[in-house]
Amino acid sequence: MSWSRVVPAALALCLLVACTSGSQSTQPQPTPASSSAAPPTDTETSDPALAAFYDQHIAWRGCHNGFDCTKVRVPVDYAAPTGPSIALSVVRLRSKGGDRLGSLLLNPGGPGASGVGYAEAADRVTSGDVRKHYDIVGFDPRGVGESAPIRCLSDSEMDTFTAQDGSPDDSAEEAQLVRLSKLFGERCAAGNGGLLAHVGTRDSARDLDVLRGVLGDARLNFLGKSYGTYLGAIYAEMFPDRVGRLVLDGVVDPAADAAALARSQAIGFERALASFVDDCLRRRGCPLSGDRTHALGQVSGILDAADRTPLRGTRPVTQSLALLGMAYSMYDPALWPVLREALAQAINGNGSTLLLLADFYLNRNAKGHYTTNGNDAMYAVTCLDRGETTDLTALQARASAFDAVAPRFGAYLAWGFLPCAYWSVPPEGKAAPIQAPGAGPILVVGTTRDPATPYAFAKNLAAELDSGRLLTYDGDGHTAYKEGSGCIDDAVDAYLVDGKLPDEGTRCR
């Protein structure tokens, strides 16, 4: 399951806002957003072949809605910069004011989500004050969107893969899951040449630094959400002296391995589902009844029924598709009314709205075409970052353990990384805490009932980083900045524009 999906702009929330702050503490020295001084000592560009990428000339052209577009070339393999290269798709919205602080690069997560599309929604995902002081820059990471996209499965093959039983109950279902996971790996290896070994987060972090250099910024200013927090943290580890103002919102903990990540996500989605159920039971017309335990049992009943016989829809709505529809609804409480209607239908065997939600999650349109390569790229990046075991006995035990703490989502997420067990290239390293000594202050934002990136991850990363500062949103949904809390927005803007960190212990509602 992907770490992030961008919820449509029309589903923005309105929330009552309040802030409480902890005790006053000494503020770390703010890191300049930009500087006219020379960049920090650049050992990465001592190789003339690599320096050529930092020094490349780019030609911006007006493209649409006030944005400029360009391509930036980066080496496929940074260890062999004279070898093949690829072009990253980049867009820019110029700053609106005279007091320009540099560029602010954005990443919305995924992995596999388009940073170009995210930046094109700049008026929704950043504040007017930030747009006044920064050029907003979005890019499709390598292997994503318009940046040498990874392609693996055809539309029909992706339909089969996403509809399969992702929480197998017997040996036949396990064998089918293994067969399709192997097929995924084989198709990715066959269609993407040498790039497949170089779409991991460390290569993308190097791309970030090339973009920083090409844009003329001495330091990187960055807003990363969900998986984008992992990209930002890896950048800080690799290039601490080039860290400007980094906002990491909806954290993926670098210290969490595949199993720990999946378990935490399963618990996070269960917590979010319980929050939805509590809200539903307070509303007239809620299709669920009784107390929370009884209502959650009704949700389980819908999923169990779909496991036995798919629900009705424009194509069969399997248990996995029904679960994806529910999971998508957990990303934003603005979707909860849609989920209430979907569950009312599903109780009567109709899975049409759950399927619609699942297809939004998967970027599948009504004609059966997957409109982005996000599902392919998500595995391509994840399998390099975090490996998986081929020991089915261990995975069975994991599924059973996860099911005990997350009865709806646990088993599905326990098996979720299985394609990585059959990947053609090995993972790049092991999960480990990131300290980034020498980096300037980094703002870490966590949401207490975030389904996909649990709040504990934000607490962990803020503590792991030498210069981390935690900002807490006490609420629902995935990520917090520009999601309805004026308190969060003001605190993030104060950091990005003025370099002022929130006080230790600041909590927003």
Distance, in Å, from the CA atom of 20 to the CA atom of 504, rounded to the nearest integer, reads: 10
Q: In what order do the strands lie in the sheet with 19-20?
A: 19-20, 507-508, 468-476, 442-449, 243-249, 220-225, 102-107, 134-139, 85-93, 67-75, 61-64
Asked whether residue 374 is domain-assigned, the answer is: no
| pLDDT level of residue 44 (50, 70, 90 thresholds) | low
pLDDT of residue 1: 34
- What residues are labeled active site? 226, 450, 478
Asked whether residue 172 is domain-assigned, the answer is: yes
Asked whether residue 285 is domain-assigned, the answer is: yes
On the question of pLDDT at 67 being above 50, the answer is: yes
Range of the domain at 208: 18-150+196-255+429-508
- State whether 341 and 411 are in the same domain: yes
- State whether 169 and 136 are in the same domain: no
Distance, in Å, from the CA atom of 472 to the CA atom of 466, rounded to the nearest integer, reads: 18
**AA identity, residue 505:** G
Q: What percent of the chain has pLDDT over 90?
A: 87
- State whether 237 and 214 are in the same domain: yes
Asked whether residue 184 is domain-assigned, the answer is: yes
If you average pLDDT over every residue of the chain, what do you get? 92
- State whether 262 and 235 are in the same domain: no
Task: Provide mean pLDDT across the span 342-359.
Answer: 98
Helices (H), 309-441: 319-329, 336-347, 352-362, 374-385, 392-405, 410-414
Asked whether residue 8 is domain-assigned, the answer is: no
Number of domains in the chain: 2
Task: Provide mean pLDDT across the span 369-387.
Answer: 96
Distance, in Å, from the CA atom of 248 to the CA atom of 233, rounded to the nearest integer, reads: 8
Domain boundary among 422, 448, 474: 422
Task: Provide mean pLDDT across the span 430-458.
Answer: 97
- State whether 358 and 325 are in the same domain: yes
More confident residue, 16 or 361: 361
| Structural tokens at position 61 | 């052209």
Helices (H), 41-194: 48-54, 115-119, 122-125, 128-133, 155-163, 171-191
For residue 486, give the H/E element and its range.
Answer: helix 486-498
- State whether 179 and 232 are in the same domain: no
Task: Provide mean pLDDT across the span 302-331.
Answer: 98
- State whether 269 and 399 are in the same domain: yes
- State whether 73 and 171 are in the same domain: no
pLDDT of residue 29: 58
Task: Provide mean pLDDT across the span 415-437.
Answer: 94
Asked whether residue 376 is domain-assigned, the answer is: no
CATH at 49: 3.40.50.1820
Encode 285-341 in three state secondary structure: CCCCCCCHHHHHHHHHHHHHHHHHCCEECCCCECHHHHHHHHHHHCCCHHHHHHHHH
Task: Provide mean pLDDT across the span 384-412.
Answer: 96
What is the per-residue pLDDT across 109-132, written as a single tens digit (0 to 9) for each?
A: 999 999 999 999 999 999 999 999
| Structural tokens at position 191 | 């269609």
pLDDT of residue 16: 24
Domain boundary among 373, 399, 422: 422
On the question of pLDDT at 485 being above 70, the answer is: yes
Closest by CA to 31, choosing from 101, 96, 131, is 101
On the question of pLDDT at 40 being above 60, the answer is: no
| pLDDT level of residue 34 (50, 70, 90 thresholds) | low
- State whether 168 and 30 are in the same domain: no
Nearest-5° Cα angle at 456, 389 to 255? 40
pTM of the model: 0.92
Asked whether residue 1 is domain-assigned, the answer is: no
Closest by CA to 414, choosing from 298, 293, 323, 353, is 323
Asked whether residue 71 is domain-assigned, the answer is: yes
- State whether 160 and 187 are in the same domain: yes
- State whether 251 and 262 are in the same domain: no
- State whether 265 and 129 are in the same domain: no
**Least trusted range by pLDDT, from 95-104, 197-206, 229-238, 475-484:** 95-104
Task: Provide mean pLDDT across the span 137-165.
Answer: 98
